[in-house]
Structure 1
Amino acid sequence: MAAVRHRTRWATGGAALTLALAAVLTGCGGDSPADTARKAESAVGSIASQASEAVESATAEAGRRLDDIRGGIDVKGDVKVGPPTVGSDDRARVEITVDNTDDAARSFAVQVDFTDAEGRLIDTVIVTVDHVQPGDSATATARSTHDLSGEVRAEVARAVRY
């Protein structure tokens, strides 16, 4: 079975957030794809508690960082997302399933967007799933970075296989 790392950290903040993320990830160009994904997760976690007015800016930065994964292939179609639930801790959770359609073991970095009933983006998280064997599937849980209430929806915004 694949080793699954539960990493769900991305949210919000203004220009300082984008600059902080950029500063944390500055050295990613020479790193392995796995190191780049881990650095993206780490940076996401370090800014997860910032103000919510910059979720969209943070989402754009997440997309740029997923683009930085060397040898990464866009595999959004190989990822499925289940229905979100909100737990007693008021955090939304959603199970994602990745299918490795490659002929070698691969890892995945998946960006999950949480939206409200009107479709407004309210949180973004990145989840990694490591070492999925060829032809196998693996699951992970994306968890919102802050309390969410009301109707919460989830969708896969991006998925990169490396």
Structure 2
Amino acid sequence: MEPRSAVAAGRAFPYTARTTCYIEIHRDGRVTHGTDRATYERAVAGESRLYAVWPGNWSSDLFMIDDLDEYAKAHGIKHDVQRTGLADHVHRVRWTESDGDQNPRSPYVDVEVVLDCGCTIESLGVFAAQMREQKGWAVATSVGWSRCSGPEGTTYSLRVRRKSLAA
């Protein structure tokens, strides 16, 4: 049985779903897994082939990752404004600590963020990486976050490591 095409699945292909497992088959026959930049670069260079297992309710399907550009954009290896809502520039950010109960002993604090540069946050992982690089923030990506839009703009609620805000 031949693997299915990720391209044929279209935009519905779950490149970043937690249940999608990537398999890299190297030219020498070794089999590894991962989604890092080195995996992408080996696949682009033809040193390996990349596959993904997409689990379904009753069975799983094997897909050939035949659009490495789309794979790279989904995993933040290549910047994609359309997918992330974030231009590749230094963001103008206003932030305040959230009103409400904050545990003063917690290493993280809830903050309200407004982007004055016109960007929107569609990918918390990409925003977190940009803020780490631009401001030294350690934005939590393993917890929920939210947005609230109104006439004055959009406010995002997220968690940030307290000490990184002071940097």
TM-score after normalising by structure 1: 0.33
Larger strand percent: 1
Hey, which of these two has a bigger chunk of helix by percent?
Answer: 1
Task: Report which structure shows greater RCO (CA 8 Å, sep ≥6).
Answer: 1
Structure whose alpha-carbon radius of gyration is higher:
2
